[in-house]
């Protein structure tokens, strides 16, 4: 009997030789199936062999080991992981959005259905649009793109908007350093995203959708396009979604690669074929989005949560998590970390559990000095802050942000002053140039940090840096300039010695934390403000979070 083996086709596995391993196993006589990655990236290529007890995993398999693997001779090499589902790293997680990733073949629609797929859409089609949105509102689902804005409020605004055409746009730009969950979901289980977008379309009355995917993700582009073709062929997309009479057409648009094109209004400009530049809000995209029509813009993981919310009910999703951070978050461990990859867990898990228990400390073996959470605009946090629970509000109160769930680990060799300089430099390079605090402030920020580090009029330049940070935080049109002070201030607060500053520098609060968090407590984030009804003030016009669908931040 030929052995059946599973070899990931995920880009991370392919980058370390998975295709060659698959070819070698096929040549050695095995039946090779391709799955997504389980997310244990330090073990790739992770090959799974079907056995009576389950799929037994073997880590870091090379093409030269294909014969030995099939002959059962890899058990004593330290590569035998046992039954993969029982591996402690996986067993301790709560995989909801990633339940099928690594388990099924990504474009096998029958397997998708057999593993619970389409139950959410089928249920949504038995409900009214209002009831579908209510389930999402009741679930407490918040945007996973960074700002954490309640998805139900956004969907309700689009649902009640009057227009001949409405759109659902998925933001798969995933520009944050250290983030890869969107890519892995699309490469490993694309039908979950397609189903989530179809649910959103049914809920708000949209007939067309686009996935905005970065050109740096060729595997994801290929897999998603194939999945969309299959979805059309099976009536999941097109003139009558699953025979319901709802039309929903979906296509992929490839971005040329600019961090700012992840900001939702720049993304809409880019989708319209223009240079990506931030639009002033109001009007918000939910009312005037793509081609001026009401548009849902959500991150991949937000939309990918919708099938579970609808299948099990909003209350089941709301039962997970902590405080106002409901459900699970797909954390991404990267940087100098021993065990990098995907950890999906209920909100409330501590940073320490993620970095130390799952991550296993640094890859270099040296002590952890810091982690940066939430992408390049996120705060640097020292180990003393690792008991912080993963919770939008707790992070905001600590002057940090959960963002898209990326956690980048640094060992003691990190130079916090250099990282602060890099934050300003990154902003200068990626700024869309529309507003002065960001366009000019970021360049001045690099210069001021250089002077502080060189010891040139250090005291007055520290005052100047704080003044500059306050101007950028309060005066920028979007969160690109608005949040760049976050990594700068956190680096200066925790490691003043890396700037040549002897005593700790107390951190100034970046902004009222709720302002960039899409926090429902934020008066500017109420449904009224959200719908633009409260417009008029400077903050409402300029604070990305204030009137936007999203809090605008990729925090």
| Residues 427, 428, 434, 440, Cα dihedral to 10° | 120
CB-wise, 69 or 304, nearer to ligand FMN?
A: 304
Strand 208-214 with 167-172, pairing: parallel
Residue 310 binds ligand SF4, judged by CB under 6 A:
no
Residue 171 binds ligand FMN, judged by CB under 6 A:
yes
Q: Please choose which of ligand SF4, ligand FMN, none residue 435 contacts, taking the beta carbon within 5 to 8 angstroms, the exact cut-off set by kind.
A: ligand SF4
Given candidates 13, 278, 300, 377, which one binds ligand SF4 under the rule CB under 6 A?
A: 278
Q: Strand, coil or helix: what is 382?
A: coil
Residue 511 binds ligand SF4, judged by CB under 6 A:
no
List the structure tokens of 332. 């991404």
Residue 519 binds ligand FMN, judged by CB under 6 A:
no
Q: How far is the CB of 318 from ligand SF4 (least distance, A)?
A: 33
CB-wise, 417 or 481, nearer to ligand SF4?
A: 481
CB-wise, 92 or 429, nearer to ligand SF4?
A: 429
d(CA 413, CA 416): 9
Q: How far is the CB of 329 from ligand FMN (least distance, A)?
A: 12
Bridge partners, residue 142, by sequence: 150
CB-wise, 496 or 552, nearer to ligand FMN?
A: 552
Q: Please choose which of ligand FMN, ligand SF4, none residue 108 contacts, taking the beta carbon within 5 to 8 angstroms, the exact cut-off set by kind.
A: none
Given candidates 39, 120, 175, 334, which one binds ligand FMN under the rule CB under 6 A?
A: 175
Q: Strand, coil or helix: what is 465?
A: helix
Given candidates 14, 198, 373, 438, which one binds ligand SF4 under the rule CB under 6 A?
A: 438
DSSP output for 297-311: EEEHHHHHHHHHHHH
Length of the chain measured in residues: 555
CB-wise, 304 or 477, nearer to ligand SF4?
A: 477
User: In terms of C-beta distances under 8 Å and separation of at least 24 residues, what long-range contacts does 234-240 make, across chains too?
Assistant: 234/109, 236/109, 236/118, 236/121, 236/191, 236/194, 236/195, 236/198, 237/194, 237/198
Residue 490 binds ligand SF4, judged by CB under 6 A:
no
Given candidates 93, 223, 336, 431, which one binds ligand SF4 under the rule CB under 6 A?
A: 431
Chain centroid offset of residue 177 CA: 10
User: What is the footprint of ligand SF4 within residues 250-269 (CB under 6 A)?
Assistant: 260
CB-wise, 123 or 281, nearer to ligand SF4?
A: 281
Residue 146 binds ligand FMN, judged by CB under 6 A:
yes
d(CA 180, CA 488): 24
Given candidates 394, 402, 478, 515, which one binds ligand SF4 under the rule CB under 6 A?
A: 478
Q: Strand, coil or helix: what is 331?
A: strand
Residue 158 binds ligand FMN, judged by CB under 6 A:
no
- H helix intervals, 210-355: 218-233, 264-271, 300-312, 314-318, 351-352
Given candidates 18, 478, 510, 546, which one binds ligand FMN under the rule CB under 6 A?
A: 478
Residue 4 CA: distances (Å) to CA of 20, 62, 69: 17, 17, 12
DSSP 99: S
List of residues contacting ligand SF4 (CB under 6 A): 260, 278, 431-435, 438-439, 476-478, 480-481
List of residues contacting ligand FMN (CB under 6 A): 143-147, 149, 171, 173-175, 259-260, 262-264, 297-299, 302, 478-480, 550, 552-554
């Amino acid at each position: 009997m030929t052995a059946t083996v599973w070899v990931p086709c995920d880009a991370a596995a392919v980058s370390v030789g998975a295709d060659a391993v698959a070819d070698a196993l096929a040549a050695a006589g095995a039946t090779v199936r391709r799955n997504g990655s389980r997310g244990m990236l330090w073990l790739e290529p992770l090959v799974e062999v079907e056995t009576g007890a389950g799929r037994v995993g073997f880590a870091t398999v090379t093409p030269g080991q294909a014969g030995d693997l099939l002959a059962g001779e890899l058990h004593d090499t330290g590569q035998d992981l046992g039954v993969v589902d029982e591996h402690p790293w996986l067993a301790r997680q709560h995989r909801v959005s990633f339940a099928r990733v690594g388990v099924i073949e990504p474009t096998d629609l029958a397997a998708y259905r057999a593993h619970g797929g389409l139950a959410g859409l089928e249920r949504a089609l038995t409900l009214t649009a209002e009831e579908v949105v209510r389930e999402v509102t009741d679930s407490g689902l918040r945007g996973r793109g960074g700002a954490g804005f309640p998805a139900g409020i956004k969907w309700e605004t689009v649902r009640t908007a009057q227009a001949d055409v409405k759109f659902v746009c998925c933001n798969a730009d995933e520009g944050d350093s250290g983030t890869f969950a969107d890519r892995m979901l699309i490469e490993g289980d694309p039908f979950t995203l397609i189903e989530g977008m179809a649910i959103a379309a049914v809920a708000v009355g949209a007939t067309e959708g686009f996935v905005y995917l970065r050109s740096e993700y060729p595997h994801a582009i290929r897999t998603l396009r194939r999945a969309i073709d299959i979805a059309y062929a099976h009536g999941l997309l097109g003139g009558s979604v699953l025979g319901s009479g709802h039309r929903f057409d979906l296509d992929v648009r490839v971005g040329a690669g600019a961090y700012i094109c992840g900001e939702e209004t720049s993304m809409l400009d880019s989708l319209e074929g223009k240079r990506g530049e931030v639009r002033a809000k109001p009007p918000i995209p939910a009312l005037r989005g793509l081609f001026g029509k009401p548009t849902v813009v959500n991150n991949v993981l937000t939309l990918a949560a919708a099938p579970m919310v609808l299948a099990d009910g909003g209350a089941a999703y709301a039962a997970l998590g902590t405080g106002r951070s409901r459900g699970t978050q797909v954390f991404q461990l990267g940087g100098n970390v021993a065990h990098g990859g995907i950890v999906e867990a209920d909100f409330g898990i501590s940073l320490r559990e993620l970095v130390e228990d799952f991550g296993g400390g640094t890859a270099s073996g040296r002590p952890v000095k810091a982690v940066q959470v939430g992408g390049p605009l996120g705060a640097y946090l020292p180990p003393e802050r690792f008991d912080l629970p993963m919770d939008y509000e707790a992070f905001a109160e600590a002057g940090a942000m959960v963002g898209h769930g990326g956690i980048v680990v640094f060992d003691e060799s990190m130079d916090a002053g250099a990282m602060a300089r890099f934050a300003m430099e990154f902003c200068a390079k990626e700024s869309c140039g529309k507003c002065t605090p960001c366009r000019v402030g970021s360049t001045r920020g690099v210069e001021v940090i250089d002077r502080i580090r060189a010891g040139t009029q250090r005291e007055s330049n520290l005052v100047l840096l704080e003044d500059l940070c306050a101007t950028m935080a309060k005066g920028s049109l979007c969160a690109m300039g608005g949040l760049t002070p976050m990594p700068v201030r956190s680096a200066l607060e925790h490691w003043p010695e890396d700037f040549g500053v002897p005593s700790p520098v107390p951190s100034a609060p970046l902004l009222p934390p709720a302002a960039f968090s899409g926090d429902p407590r934020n008066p500017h984030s109420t449904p009224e403000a959200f719908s633009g009804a409260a417009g008029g003030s400077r903050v409402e016009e300029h604070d990305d979070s204030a009137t936007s669908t999203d809090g605008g931040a990729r925090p």
